């Protein structure tokens, strides 16, 4: 993995067709009408890693989500891999820190309504789309801190495998099963978010894209890309003690 001092992206993989990077939390992938005031984007930094040549995003990560982001280095590769992503032919893996003790494993099969352009809108006329997420619990902990009226508070580290790609799917699905992701200001629990912000000195969504697997768009061979979460993510996982190796 390589990173320059003036570029927040970390290069994970490069070949003649692809560039894969680690995107930090808080960085937009590209320009958005909702965030017109922003001037820094993963797309421009990826172009910098590509010698100033254009790169083409084939998928997205929410601004507060960190982790693996894949770019194509030419339009044809972007088209081939984009279609594979849309067809569900890409396996994706995420890590999340959630409130409560999640079940050991399960499948969340819960349709999600399309997001309105206006974040404040809850237009019930918007269509529902099938949405499925598989999950596995990796670790649990209970800390002696009262947050919501109980003498202690419980948390889980889970691995998430989205089978579909709806907007905010993982965040909305974890809220649906009453295990919202820590740091989620849209779907999470405010008191728990505040506790972690005060304890660690910063706020972030505890969701990280850690792996993707797909057929290479040029060779057809399986390509498995993996990256560890960034230090800010790992620091918060210290609540699990030796269950989670931090170095």
66-93 pLDDT tens trace: 999 999 999 999 999 999 999 999 999 9
pLDDT at 36: 53
Determine which one of 62, 74, 123, 130 is catalytic: 62
Q: What pLDDT was estimated at residue 242?
A: 83
Residue 4: per-residue pLDDT: 62
What are the phi and psi torsion angles at 139 (to 5°)? Answer: -160, 155
Longest Cα–Cα distance of the chain, Å, equals 57
Between these two residues, 234 and 121, which has the higher pLDDT value? 234
3 pLDDT above the threshold of 70 = no
62 is catalytic: yes
- Residue 161's CB: how many other CB atoms inside 10 A? 16
Q: How confident is the model at residue 33 (pLDDT cuts 50, 70, 90)?
A: very low
Give the residue among 19, 11, 168, 43 at the shortest CA–CA distance from 96. Answer: 168
| pLDDT for the residue 2 | 56
Distance of CA 232 to the CA centre of its chain: 14
Residue 53 main-chain phi, psi, to 5 deg: -80, 155
Nearest to 21 by CA among 75, 53, 58, 74: 58
The confidence score (pLDDT) of residue 162 equals 97
Is the model's pLDDT at 212 over the cut of 80?
Answer: yes
Tell me: the pLDDT tens digits for 133-186? 999 999 999 999 999 888 999 999 999 999 999 999 999 999 999 999 999 999
pLDDT confidence bin for 5, thresholds 50/70/90: low
pLDDT at 121: 47
More confident residue, 117 or 28: 28
What's the CATH number of domain 10-243, 3.30.2350.10, 3.30.420.40, 3.40.50.20, 3.40.50.2000?
3.30.2350.10
The pLDDT assigned to 232 comes to 94
Q: Name 109's Cβ contacts closer than 8 Å, sequence gap at least 6.
A: 131, 132
Q: Which residue has the higher pLDDT, 42 or 96?
A: 96
With a pLDDT cut of 70, the percent of the chain lying above it is: 88
**Residue 114 CB contacts under 8 Å (≥ 6 apart), including other chains:** 126, 127, 128, 129, 167
Average pLDDT over residues 210-215: 97
């Amino acid at each position: 993995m390589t990173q320059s001092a003036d570029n927040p992206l970390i290069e994970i993989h490069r070949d003649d067709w692809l560039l894969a990077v680690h995107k930090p939390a808080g960085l937009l992938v590209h320009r958005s009408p909702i965030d017109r005031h922003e001037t820094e984007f993963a797309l421009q930094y990826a172009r910098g890693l590509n010698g100033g040549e254009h790169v083409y995003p084939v998928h997205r990560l929410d601004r507060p989500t960190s982790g693996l982001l894949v770019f194509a280095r030419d339009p044809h590769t972007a088209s081939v891999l984009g279609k594979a992503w849309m067809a569900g032919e890409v396996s994706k893996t995420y890590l999340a820190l959630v409130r409560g003790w999640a079940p050991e494993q399960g499948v969340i099969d819960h349709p999600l309504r399309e997001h309105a352009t206006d974040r404040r809108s809850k237009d019930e006329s918007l269509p529902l789309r099938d949405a499925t997420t598989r999950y596995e619990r990796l670790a649990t902990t209970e800390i002696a801190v009262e947050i919501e009226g109980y003498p202690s508070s419980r948390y889980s580290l889970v691995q998430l495998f989205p089978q579909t790609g709806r907007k905010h799917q993982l965040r909305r699905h974890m809220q649906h099963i009453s295990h919202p992701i820590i740091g989620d200001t849209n779907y999470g629990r405010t008191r728990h978010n505040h506790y972690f912000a005060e304890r660690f000195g910063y706020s972030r969504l505890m969701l990280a894209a850690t792996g993707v697997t797909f057929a290479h768009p040029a060779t057809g061979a399986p390509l498995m890309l993996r990256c560890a979460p960034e230090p800010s993510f790992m620091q918060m996982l210290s609540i699990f003690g030796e269950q989670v190796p931090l170095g």
